[in-house]
DNA sequence: CTCCTATTGATAATGGTTTTCATTATCAAT
DNA sequence: ATTGATAATGAAAACCATTATCAATAGGAG
């Protein structure tokens, strides 16, 4: 039986050591905030949140740690076109798992969707396989976003 | 028989007037550069190119015009994660037409691919339709990018 | 040709992200 | 527990793509 979430050390403890990095208080605080939300937080959002539980944190450390987490594959970095990057835990309990985004070009609202159409996943892996072969490319990730007007903005016109 | 490209006024002349904008020399120069390449140019790339044929151009005008062209749907704006936006003509002779990107996370190289798998287009429109209905979202565009290691970088390891 | 207005471009400002560097914390070996 | 090598931190400054400001200029309807 797999270990339940919420008991024992968080799942990421081991991975840090494996990669040769130290799991420090600032880093844990950042992971803590990320794991307790399913929102799309900016670096400053995270800074403000972490600041509550670890007041001496610096914005620099936020950026550095996020870079590390992205590199380790724990965190995904997104650009929704508003000039600041957004970060989401890409694995873990509160995470919705892999998902794509609907971005409203008018108000900037972002909707996650995980309920893929049946064939969507299947086609995606097929496409990745095909592209890998054709372009001799080792594909490790993909980004899919749809742009348009959300319910509110659509009716506003 | 459709008008051949290269003769008569460029295809975009009319569209400007329709939208209530003036077609000025700086704007034409920018469109000229964009229509003669299939690369992913940054604002500064475009600035340097246009500067050759219209030396008094200002970087400000580049940004303003690109914003206009994006808004009019002539140009697509992309973010490949290197901190600067890239622009491509989304219609016209030299344009490869709608395409997706393979982005190398190591060297930043970008490969366009237009030769979609047969089912890809079909599924995409099906997905858009489904999402529009489910989230009451008017989808007008999408972005699909695959990340990984290009041939060169893959072998370098 | 003239006037009104959109457009331009030099400059300064903005703001998210990175760099720098002196200080501090971590962990393995003692 | 103590030490020492090294990684990590954070305040401040630097960076740099993009935007705002504003006086000067150009387009085009009349």
Residue A61's CATH number: 1.10.10.10
Q: How many domains does chain A have?
A: 2
Q: Which of residues 38-97 of A touch strand D (CB under 7 A)?
A: 54, 56-58, 60-61, 64-65, 83
Cβ A143–B142 below 8 Å, yes or no? Answer: no
Do residue A70 and residue A87 come from a single domain?
yes
Residue A3 lies in a domain: no
Give the C-alpha separation, A44 to A115, whole Å.
30
On whether residue B18 sits in a domain, the answer given is yes
**Owning domain of residue B83:** 13-91
One domain, residues B39 and B85: yes
Instruction: Supply A116's token pair.
Output: 């893929």
Least confident segment among A81-95, A134-148, B13-27: A81-95
Which residues in chain B are closer than 8 Å to A126, comparing Cβ atoms?
A: 117
Q: How large is the ipTM?
A: 0.87
Q: Of B91, B119, B145, which residue is a domain's last?
A: B91
The predicted model gives B10-19 an average pLDDT of: 80
Distance in Å, alpha carbon of A64 to nearest chain B alpha carbon: 16
Asked if residue B132 has pLDDT above 90, the reply is yes
Q: Is residue A20 part of a domain?
A: yes
Query: CA of A148: which chain B residue's CA is closest?
Result: B139
pLDDT 10s digits, B55-71: 999 999 999 999 999 99
User: In the prediction, which pLDDT does B20 show?
Assistant: 87
Query: In whole angstroms, what separates CA A6 from the centre of its chain?
Result: 20
Q: Please tell me which residue of chain A has the smallest CA distance to B114.
A: A131
CB atoms inside a 10 Å sphere around CB B1: 3
Query: How many Å lie between the alpha carbon of B83 and the closest alpha carbon of chain A?
Result: 10
Spatial separation of the C-alpha atoms in residues B104 and B28, rounded to whole Å:
33
Q: pLDDT digit string (tens) for A24-36?
A: 999 999 999 999 9
In this prediction, residue B120 carries a pLDDT of 81
According to DSSP, the residues that pair with B111 across neighbouring strands are B102
- Regarding whether A81 and A126 lie in a shared domain, the answer is no
Confirm if B31 and B24 have CB atoms less than 8 A apart: no
CA Rg value for chain B:
18
Same domain, A70 and A108: no
pLDDT in tens, B100-112: 999 999 889 999 9
Residues from chain A that touch B145, judged by Cβ atoms under 8 A, are 142-143
Torsion of Cα atoms, A90 then A96 then A98 then A99, to 10°: -120
pLDDT higher than 90, residue B150: yes
Query: Residue B78 forms beta bridges with which residues?
Result: B86
CA neighbor of B70 nearest in space, from B91, B51, B52:
B91
pLDDT surpassing 60 at residue B4:
no
What is the model's pLDDT at position B157? 62
Q: What per-residue confidence (pLDDT) applies to A115?
A: 75
Chain B CB contacts of A120 under 8 Å are 123, 127
pLDDT reading at A8 higher than 50:
no
Residue B93 has pLDDT above 70, yes or no: no
Interface test with B, best of A127, A136, A141 (most B CBs within 10 A): A127
C-alpha span between A46 and A135 (Å, rounded): 38
Assess contact for A57 and A74: CB atoms under 8 A: no
Q: Which pLDDT score is estimated for B95? A: 63
Q: How far apart are CA B113 and CA B43, in angstroms?
A: 23
Contacts of A111 by beta carbon, 8 Å cutoff, 6+ apart: A101, A102, A104, A150, B135, B137
Q: Are residues B80 and B116 in the same domain?
A: no
The gap from C-alpha A95 to its chain's centroid, in whole angstroms, comes to 8
pLDDT digits (tens, 9 = 90+) for A76-110: 999 999 999 999 998 755 666 789 999 999 899 99
> Residue A75's closest CA among A60, A92, A87?
A87
Q: Quick one: A29 and A87 in the same domain?
A: yes
Q: Classify residue B155: in a domain, yes or no.
A: yes
């Amino acid at each position: 039986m797999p270990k339940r979430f919420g008991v024992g050390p968080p799942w990421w403890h081991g991975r840090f050591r494996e990669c040769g990095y130290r799991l420090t208080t600032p880093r844990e605080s950042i992971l803590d905030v990320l794991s307790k939300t399913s929102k799309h937080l900016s670096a400053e959002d995270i800074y403000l949140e972490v600041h509550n539980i670890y007041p001496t944190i610096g914005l620099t450390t936020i950026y550095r740690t996020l870079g590390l987490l992205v590199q380790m594959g724990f965190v995904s970095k997104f650009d929704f076109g508003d000039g600041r990057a957004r970060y989401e835990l890409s694995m873990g309990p509160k995470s919705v798992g892999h998902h794509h985004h609907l971005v409203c070009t008018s108000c900037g609202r972002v909707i996650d969707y995980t309920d893929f159409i049946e064939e969507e996943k299947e086609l995606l892996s097929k496409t990745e396989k095909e592209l890998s072969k054709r372009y001799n490319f080792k594909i490790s990730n993909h980004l899919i976003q749809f742009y348009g007007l959300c319910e509110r903005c659509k009716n506003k016109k």
